[in-house]
Amino acid sequence: MPELHPDLAVLAPLLGTWTGTGTGEYPTIETFGYVEEIAIGHIGKPFLTYSQRTRAADDGRPLHAETGYLRVPSPGRIELVVAHPTGVTEIDEGTLSVTDNGLAIELDSTSIGLTGSAKNVTALSRSFQLAGDELSYTVRMAAVGVPLTHHLAATLHRQQR
């Protein structure tokens, strides 16, 4: 495998495969549990690859997937570009800080793209906390007439680097 691009050294602790469980809720849907796997890798260029898959906790049916890239354009800044199979694309920008335990990432959407058949998502916001081999996150979403509100929360554990 190629060496990690030096611009991404601060993100090295994110590399690997992460699995865990989470809970989703939104005012327009029933609360649900899910099982998740996130894979974060690199190819030696100044970005990390990101892929995510979830399945229902109750019966294992596929729920969601997304794929994208993480970039560090300058110290303390981070960008996430994500494509969803539901016809939504998101560009998020925010802050990246090293904490006593690991990393803290705060991202807000700067652009949401929608296909003609996609649900009307107008904003997304993500928070990640990395402490050792535990990665937790929350996602807030504004969609279908509902203002930005809590949607997802999960805790994952590193399976491999």
Query: What residues form the annotated binding site for heme b?
Result: 28, 119, 151
- Whole-angstrom CA distances from 54 to 63, 95, 148 are 5, 26, 22
Q: In 47-90, where does DSSP find H-type helix?
A: none
The residue among 15, 18, 83, 9 whose CA lies nearest residue 46 is: 9
Asked whether 93 and 79 are in contact (CB, 8 A), the reply is yes
Residue positions forming the annotated binding site: 28, 119, 151
Q: Label residue 148 left, alpha or beta by phi (over 0 means left) and psi (-120 to 50 means alpha).
A: beta
Half-sphere exposure of 23 (CA within 13 A, CB side): 4
